Amino acid sequence: MGAMETLVLILDLVGTFVFALSGAMLGVRRRLDLFGVLVLSFAAATAGGITRDLLIGATPPAALSDWRYPVTSLAAGVVTFFRASLIEKLHHPVRLFDAMGLALFAVAGTQKALEYGIAPPMAAAMGMLTGIGGGIARDVLLAQVPLVLRAELYAVAALAGALIVALGHWLQLPPLPCALVGALVCFGLRMAAITFGWHLPVALQSGGDGEPPGPLQ
C-alpha cells in the first residue's frame, strides 16, 4: 500500500469512527434500542463514502468490501450506547464529532477522488459529498431536516477544506500538509460558524416576519 493510500485509509477510518459517534449519540438521545443506534452509527459513518466510491468507480465501495469500516462504525455505536453519559459530558458532543467527521471525510474524499483520476474541481465536489453524505443519511433516518440544509456553513466548510486539498494537488504540493491544512480549515470554519452563528442568507417570507415555514403538508 502506497503512502497516499495509507493516508486516505487513516483519514477514512478516523472519520468513520467520529461520524459514527455523532449518529449513535443522536440515536441514544432519541431513545432508540441498540439495533437502532447501530444502524444510525453505520449510516452516518459510511453513506458519504459509499456514494463517493460509486460515483468515481471505486467498486465495490470500501465501506462494504473492507471489514474495518463496518467494525469501526459498529464499535463506535456500541461504545456510545453503553457510555453515552460520559460522552455527553463533552460540550455539544454531536456537533463536535460531526465537525470532526466532516473535516476528515472532506479531505479523504477529495484525495481518493484525485487518486482515481478525477479532475481537481470535481474531486473537491466529491470530497464535499463525502463529508455531508453521512449526516444527510443520519438526519433522514431520524425524520429531521438534514444539517446541511439548515446549519451554519456546513457544506461550505466541507468544500473549503476539499478545495485546499485539490489546489495543493494541482500545485503539486506534498499531500500530507495539504490534507492537514484542509481538515483544520474545514473544522475551524464549521466550529466558528457554530460559535458565532455564521450562515448563508435565508429567503425572506412573503408575510414579512422572516420565520421559516412549517413542514410541507
What pLDDT shows up at residue 47? Answer: 93
203 inside domain: no
208 inside domain: no
CA distance 101 to 19: 5
Residues 156-189 pLDDT 10s: 999 999 999 999 999 999 998 999 999 999 999 9
Per-residue pLDDT tens digits of the chain, which is 217 residues long: 567 778 788 888 888 998 898 899 999 999 999 999 999 999 999 999 999 999 999 999 999 999 999 999 999 999 999 988 888 777 678 788 888 889 999 999 999 999 999 999 999 999 999 999 988 999 899 998 888 887 678 899 999 999 999 999 999 999 989 999 999 999 999 999 888 888 877 766 655 555 554 443 3
**Domain residue limits at 187:** 3-196
**What dihedral angle (degrees, nearest 10) is formed by the CA atoms of 5, 20, 100, 6?**
-10
Q: Which of 76, 75, 55, 54 is nearest to 65 (CA)?
A: 54
48 inside domain: yes
149 inside domain: yes
What pLDDT shows up at residue 199? Answer: 82
204 inside domain: no
Structural contact between residues 12 and 65, judged by C-beta atoms closer than 8 angstroms:
no
Give me the number of domains the chain comprises: 1
Q: Cis peptide leading into 120, omega within 30 of 0?
A: no
Within its chain, how far is the Cα of 187 from the centroid?
Answer: 11
Q: Which of 137, 127, 192 is nearest to 160 (CA)?
A: 127
Residues in the chain, overall count: 217
Long-range pairs for 198-203 at CB < 8 Å and ≥24 separation? 198/152, 198/153, 199/151, 199/152, 199/153, 200/153, 200/156
What pLDDT shows up at residue 206? Answer: 56
Long-range pairs for 194-202 at CB < 8 Å and ≥24 separation? 194/92, 194/95, 194/99, 194/151, 194/152, 197/152, 198/152, 198/153, 199/151, 199/152, 199/153, 200/153, 200/156
What pLDDT shows up at residue 90? Answer: 76
37 inside domain: yes
205 inside domain: no
207 inside domain: no
